[in-house]
Amino acid sequence: MAKIAVISGSPSVSSRLNGVLQSIQSQLLTAGLELHWIDVRSLPPEDLIYTNFKSPAIIEAINQIAGADAVVVATPIYKASYTGVIKTFLDLIPQKGLEGKVILPVAIGGTIAHLLALDYALKPVLAALGARIQLAGVYALDTQVQRNEDGTFELDEELDQRLTASTDEFIQEVRFRLQLGSLAAQS
């Protein structure tokens, strides 16, 4: 069974990014994939800020990434870039920590003007960590995710379709890479 690490770089518990990630989670679980969540805001702030590589919480999160076949990296976009919360965590991942993993970048922002933040801000950092198999990803607008009073979320139809298509591609790529790996192991 494929293992997926989901990194949420939102500093807010009530972020609309959670609605996007819930949609992805549902699809990944339906496909029978094993998920490991890394909610960066829940990691010890001092360990993130002071890059404490010996922190048990940081070590556990890095080990979840190391043991994953693929990684979803999700962040809100503030001021044309990913959050500082996720940047502090990405700084703790070893230099080749994403090597050989399928990556699905996901972002949400207040305006379409930040659409290219995925390509020009987040993806270069992921590439510096060894991510060579990065999918196109999904950029959502805040207005496409409605937060209900009960804490659930509703996605507009267009976003839901794009998320479904990107997550399907992610699942197919993960399965393909795993199949290649098992074929290489048999040789």
pLDDT profile of the chain (187 residues), mean per 10: 95 93 97 97 97 97 98 95 96 97 97 93 97 96 94 95 98 93 59
Please answer whether residues 53 and 43 qualify as being in contact, where contact means their C-beta atoms are separated by less than 8 angstroms. no
- At residue 182, the pLDDT reads 64
Residue 109 three-state SS: strand
Q: What is the pLDDT of residues 63-112, one digit of tens each?
A: 999 999 999 999 999 988 999 999 999 999 999 999 999 999 999 999 99
Q: Which helix (H) or strand (E) holds 145?
A: strand 145-147
Alpha-helical runs (H) found in 37-113: 45-49, 56-66, 84-90
- At residue 151, the pLDDT reads 84
- At residue 184, the pLDDT reads 55
- At residue 186, the pLDDT reads 54
Residue with tokens 């949420």: 8
| Global pTM value | 0.95
